């Protein structure tokens, strides 16, 4: 059994991670930390976990965490980077669900997250945890940076086109929508029911923190600079991301459907839908799945890709389990066979 610790188990990502870990056949949960809820039974805070998790939340104890085989950080940005080095020195593997190790340049990190990086020496070692791109590197990693939710949906949608003949990489556009759980569990006026319901708005247009992460991933994949515009929106639903992606492609002979089906044929968690499809966020709710559909805009050279994920599963906790499975040589799909919830 893999002895697992979870640092920061009280947010939406944390409880989703605990839900998945509780049912994983190779996991033994050892410690779940929360300074604010220390001493509280996990199942009292999250009654869906009654009968599945009997632990109490506890203060972060370096000795208990160091006794684990793997520690997940489901904490706000800036926490993991202060604790990871000692865990790695103790032989513990780490998966960070926040952004601390996603960006390779510490100056870029500081610009977008407003704080100096606490352990820049580990940035080169950290493996970006998008299995569809870095599967082999993840399998041998000590430290995995779990991707953000928007970056997962956008990169999986764009990747097959990046090397296509005739693709204009100076004009990539990602028009994305997210449910309110993407903002986290903190109390905030903008995510109150009366504020977010029956409304729809863009945010972060001058610059969103996921912008440099997505650009870094796309440029790494194609080996050149890209022109990229990213506009996120808040929608009145709890879970889900819908990314509508645009890329100019002056190659009418290219079989887009075949291109995507070939690229993702062996991927357990990417579903390329039949030509002409329109994937819905509800079709992936609760599942570690990205569903894609590819279109050509009429009378235009634009390719339009539709990409949907559950922001808390394939966009966070589910992808983290996928990475854990790879790091420990397990079946990549272990613990991730849930079918999406309908209605």
- Residues paired with 271 in a beta bridge: 291
Residue 119 annotated as catalytic: no
Distance CA 109, CA 111 (A): 5
Helix (H, G, I), strand (E, B) or coil at 222: helix
The 3 state secondary structure assigned to 94-157 is EEECCCCCCCCCHHHHHHHHCCCCCCHHHCCCCEECCHHHHHHHHHCCCEEECCCHHHHHHHHH
Please give the pLDDT value at position 183: 83
* Structural domains of the chain sorted by starting position, each given as residue range(s) with its CATH number in brackets: 2-125 (3.40.50.720), 150-310 (3.30.360.10)
Render pLDDT for 8-28 as a digit per residue (tens, 0 to 9). Answer: 999 999 999 999 999 999 999
Render pLDDT for 39-96 as a digit per residue (tens, 0 to 9). Answer: 999 999 999 999 999 999 999 999 999 999 999 999 999 999 999 999 999 999 999 9
Please give the pLDDT value at position 182: 87
**pLDDT exceeds cutoff 90 at 221:** yes
Give the model's confidence band at 187: pLDDT under 50 very low, under 70 low, under 90 confident, else very high: confident
Phi and psi torsions of 132, nearest 5°: -70, -10
**pLDDT exceeds cutoff 90 at 278:** yes
Active-site pick, 68, 119, 149, 290: 149
**pLDDT exceeds cutoff 90 at 193:** no
């Amino acid at each position: 059994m893999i002895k697992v610790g979870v640092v920061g188990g009280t947010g939406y990502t944390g409880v989703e991670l605990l839900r998945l870990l509780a049912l994983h056949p190779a996991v033994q949960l050892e410690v779940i930390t929360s300074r604010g809820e220390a001493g509280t039974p996990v199942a009292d805070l999250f009654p869906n976990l009654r009968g599945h998790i009997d632990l109490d939340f506890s203060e972060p104890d370096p000795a208990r965490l160091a006794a684990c085989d793997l520690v997940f950080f489901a904490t706000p940005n800036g926490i993991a980077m202060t604790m990871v080095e000692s865990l790695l020195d103790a032989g513990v593997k780490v998966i960070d669900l926040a952004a601390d190790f996603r960006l390779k340049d510490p100056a870029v990190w500081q610009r977008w997250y407003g704080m100096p990086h606490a352990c820049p020496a580990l940035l080169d070692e950290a493996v970006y945890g998008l299995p569809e791109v870095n599967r082999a590197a993840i399998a041998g990693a000590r430290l995995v940076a779990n991707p953000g939710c928007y970056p997962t949906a956008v990169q999986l949608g764009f990747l097959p086109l990046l090397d296509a003949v005739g693709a204009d990489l100076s004009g990539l556009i990602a028009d994305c929508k997210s449910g309110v759980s993407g903002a986290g569990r903190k109390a905030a006026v903008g995510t109150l029911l009366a504020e977010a319901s029956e409304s729809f708005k863009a945010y972060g247009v001058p610059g969103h923190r996921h912008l440099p992460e997505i650009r870094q991933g796309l440029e790494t994949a194609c080996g050149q600079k890209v022109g990229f515009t990213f506009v996120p929106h808040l929608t009145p639903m709890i879970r889900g991301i819908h990314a509508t992606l645009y890329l100019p492609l002056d190659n009418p002979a290219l079989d887009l459907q075949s291109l995507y089906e070939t690229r993702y044929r062996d991927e357990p968690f990417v579903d390329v839908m039949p030509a002409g499809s329109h994937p819905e966020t509800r079709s992936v709710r609760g599942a570690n799945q990205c569903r894609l559909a590819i279109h050509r805009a009429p009378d235009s050279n634009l390719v339009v890709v539709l990409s949907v994920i559950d922001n808390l599963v394939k966009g966070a906790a589910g992808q983290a389990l996928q990475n854990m499975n790879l790091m420990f040589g397990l079946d990549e799909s272990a613990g991730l066979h849930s079918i999406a919830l309908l209605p």
